[in-house]
Amino acid sequence: MYDKALGAWMRAGFDMWSLGIESSSVIALRLAKISRGGDAGSKEAALMVSEKMQASVEIMAGLLTGQLGMTPLAGTNSVVRKYRRKVAANRRRLSR
């Protein structure tokens, strides 16, 4: 049991590490777009802020309603999956 739980948490840790790496590439793409200035840069900055606010509200609502899972590990995995999907969508959009 202990080894299985440890393995599950190690996998969650790897997923969080992967999210950090993926997020850094999106940050770089966003900064490049914002640094060019103009209307596109302003829109990207506004989008970035609104996405972060929306994501935090969704996570809090999921936490309060039990939709993230009933254990700390299940909640962690749900949150990381949700953020990885959003980060991947932003990376695809910004890489075009």
pLDDT digits (tens, 9 = 90+) for 44-88: 999 999 999 999 999 999 999 999 999 999 999 999 999 999 999
Number of structural domains found in the chain? 1
Residue 7's alpha-carbon distances to 1, 3, 60, 80, in angstroms, are 10, 6, 27, 17
pLDDT for position 1: 60
pLDDT digits (tens, 9 = 90+) for 13-44: 999 999 999 999 999 999 999 999 999 999 99
Question: 49 lies in which domain range?
Answer: 2-95
Contact between 86 and 25 under an 8 Å Cβ cutoff? The reply is no
- Reduced to 3 states (helix: H, G, I; strand: E, B; else coil), residue 66 is coil
Would you say residue 93 has pLDDT above 70? yes
